[in-house]
Amino acid sequence: MAIIQVEHLSFAYTTDLEPVKVLDDINLEIDKGEAFALMGPTGAGKSTLCLALNGIIPHLVNGTMDGRVLVDGIDTRDTYPAALSQTVGIIHQDPDSQLFCPSVEEEVAFGLENAGLARQEITERIDWALRVVRMDAYRKSSPARLSGGQKQRVAIACSLALLPKVLVLDEPTSSLDPAGQAEVYEAVERLRRERQVTLVLVGTDAEHSAAYTAHMAFLIAGKIIALGEPQKLLADKQLVTLAGVYPPQMMELAWELNSRCQTSYNWLHMGQAESDLRARLQDPRSHG
């Protein structure tokens, strides 16, 4: 069952000169509890689409919107972001822009207090959210003293404490090292499995997102040019290059071997490559 339905969505920003069209007739459905990747180059319209999912567009951004977005049956045209914040949470790529309180637990409490929840419930949600992202040992720490991956996990906890049904991560690991990236993706995948939170992972690098998502869309110049399973989309080198997406390293290796050895490998991660290559060594006639 779809929790996100985007129907013929177009959006143009209002400027002093002329409107700038950023989204062009987007149609998209994402199922409840699914992890979905939205990929494309800088300027493709990915962040604009994210803002349309929680009502910031059309309510807080100057522009013209056509079509509609439904999230858990709620029409974002009729619902303001404050009301949607408990349905859709958005995590941006720079956690420092979202963290401003003296301690981790105060960061998580901020949104809950603004939602007018009782003190006992606030305390319980803080405890739960920090446990989920494995940051409960840092609750008294200053966010400024945390690593990049830890800060991003705190940002996730802040959104998660509001119990959203959908969590949108807009290039959440672009400024993190590999260890920090792994921390964030492992945390959100655990949320999806344990809490049935729907994940929308947005970015240009498919190294991690391809391994965690069931479906992927390529967005270029405001249009979705491809939609399907990550393994199938990323196997198409020409399409991936056109979409400005950085493929997983194992997929690049598969492309190279396919070109040189007339094989048909299609790998997202090391385990797939190891299995296929072992099979080939045992049976040289196998082409994978």
d(CA 49, CA 57) in angstroms, rounded, equals 9
Element (H, E) at 210: helix 206-212
* 173 has pLDDT over 90: no
Band (pLDDT 50/70/90 cuts) for residue 18 is confident
Contact 3, 30 (CB under 8 A): yes
DSSP 134-202: T-GGGTTS-GGGS-HHHHHHHHHHHHHTT--SEEEEESTTTTS-HHHHHHHHHHHHHHHHHH--EEEEE
Buried b (16+ CB within 10 A) or exposed e, 95-104: beebbeeeeb
Ordered by start, the domain boundaries in the chain are 2-230, 248-288
* For residues 159-185, average pLDDT: 81
**pLDDT score at 285:** 62
* 175 has pLDDT over 70: no
d(CA 124, CA 137) in angstroms, rounded, equals 15
**pLDDT score at 118:** 93
List phi, psi (to 5°) of 37: -110, 130
Give CA separation, 82 vs 53, 54, 56, 115, 197, in Å. Answer: 13, 9, 9, 9, 19
* For residues 40-46, average pLDDT: 92
End-to-end CA distance of the chain: 35
Q: What is the pTM of this model?
A: 0.85
Band (pLDDT 50/70/90 cuts) for residue 98 is confident
| % of the chain residues with pLDDT over 70 | 97
Greatest mean pLDDT range, 43-47, 131-135, 210-214: 43-47
Q: Give the domain 2-230 fold.
A: Rossmann fold (3.40.50)
Contact 63, 19 (CB under 8 A): yes
Look at the chain and count its residues. 288
Model pLDDT for residues 61-93, shown as the tens digit of each residue: 999 999 999 999 999 999 999 888 889 988 877
The Cα angle at residue 171 between residues 270 and 124, in degrees rounded to 5: 100
Element (H, E) at 208: helix 206-212
Least confident of 49-53, 89-93, 211-215: 89-93
Band (pLDDT 50/70/90 cuts) for residue 47 is very high
Least confident of 17-21, 30-34, 59-63, 228-232: 17-21
